[in-house]
Each structure stands twice: as C-alpha cells, then as structure tokens.
Chain A
Amino acid sequence: EAGVTQFPSHSVIEKGQTVTLRCDPISGHDNLYWYRRVMGKEIKFLLHFVKESKQDESGMPNNRFLAERTGGTYSTLKVQPAELEDSGVYFCASSYSGGAYIQYFGAGTRLSVL
C-alpha cells in the first residue's frame, strides 16, 4: 500500500510567484492534514480536511494560502503570491476515520522563496 505522497519534493521560487503543492493521501483515508515547519521552529498545524470539507483551518497563516481537496482525494496547497517567510517544509498527513488520531505523514515539500 502506498504511503502519503507529496509533490514536488523541493521547490525554489522567487518572491511574488505562485507555487502549488500537492498531497496524495493513503487510499481510503478521509482525513487529510497540512503542517508546516519553518526553519528552526516547531512543526505547525495548518488545516484539516474531512473528505472534501475543511474541518479546521485555524492554522492557515493568511489569505495568500489556499487549500483544496477536490472530490475528497488529493489535496493542493497554493501560495500566491509567495513571500520570503513562507519558506520551510510543508508536510501532509492522512488518517482514516476509525483511527483518526493516528496520522501518517509524507516526506514533505521543501519550499524555498528567494
């Protein structure tokens, strides 16, 4: 069974550009989460999807960040326009409803905004 997959593994963009990160959860997992780790800081929660609905988006930093989960399958996180402080590693995780408290993580996307 495939794990949580994230694309790309690394993205380098210039300030003001747009970047879209993608996450494919484990098949059958209704819950999907995004987290971010800024250099030297803790991993911080961004938001939580249950199927295609946003359950909790309290961690989204500002309206430059847009997360979607079309059809309750894969998810995208778009940053538009990117700022220097958006640099970091973006993790995606998923869990199934029967054991929603156990989250399985992807390898992350390292975003560098220059």
Chain B
Amino acid sequence: AQSVTQLGSHVSVSEGALVLLRCNYSSSVPPYLFWYVQYPNQGLQLLLKYTSAATLVKGINGFEAEFKKSETSFHLTKPSAHMSDAAEYFCAVSGVTTDSWGKLQFGAGTQVVVTP
C-alpha cells in the first residue's frame, strides 16, 4: 500500500523568500510522484513529476523537487516566492505498473500564503 504525508497544512512565506513544501511517501517500491497546484476556482494543475529518471525534477513556474529514496521524500522548492504562488499544493503518488498508475493517492494539501 502507498501513502503520502504532507507536513504543514498552511505555510506562510514572504515574497522573495524560499518556498519549501515537504512531502514524504510510503511505498514498497519507488513510486511515481507528483506535485499538483490548485489556484482559486481552478482545477488541479500538474507542477512536476518524478518517474524514475533524474532525481532532481524541474517543473513549471520555477518550482523543482528532489526525489530522495533514502529519506522517502519528494520536497517541493522554489527559490523566490511570488504573490502568484499563493495556492494549495498537493503531493501525490501512484504505482509504476500499467495496472497501478491510474490511482493517484494524495496528501492532505498545503495552503501557501505569500505576504508582501
């Protein structure tokens, strides 16, 4: 069975400061990992994904995440927060076989507030 834990349901960050959102997973084999973002009144948008290639993954809007197998982590970072980064962020995991990757399991989400 797989599961995802996001530390911190709410994060407040100053504009220009580092954004760090934590995600830890539990899986018997290295899974596929994803970060999604939901802006107000919009659907979930894929930020980036890890699918067993490079461990450092770059996504859209300046975000990146690093897969660390030893720590079972997939933390999301952005060097400098912008006001437009205010949104809810979700970490998700899926299996890596054709019969298991259709079922995403999500963390509880982290609401990011950016202050001027």
A residues whose Cβ falls under 8 Å from a Cβ of B:
3-4, 31, 33, 35, 41-45, 48, 55-56, 58-59, 91, 93, 95, 100-108
Contacts and interface: CB of A to CB of B under 8 A. Distances in A.
A31, A41, A101: which has the most chain B beta carbons within 10 Å? A101
Interface of B: 32, 36, 41-46, 49, 51, 90, 92, 94, 96, 98, 101-109
A41, A42, A44, A93: which has the most chain B beta carbons within 10 Å? A42
B107 A107 contact: no
Contact of B106 (A43, A48, A56, A106): A43
A107 B106 contact: no
B46 A102 contact: yes
Given A41-B108, A101-B94, A91 B102 contact: no
Given A42-B108, A43-B90, A104 B46 contact: yes
A107 B96 CA distance: 26
Contact of A100 (B42, B46, B102): B102
B38 to A, nearest CB: 8
A43, A48, A91: which has the most chain B beta carbons within 10 Å? A43
Contacts of B92: 43
B108 to A, nearest CB: 5
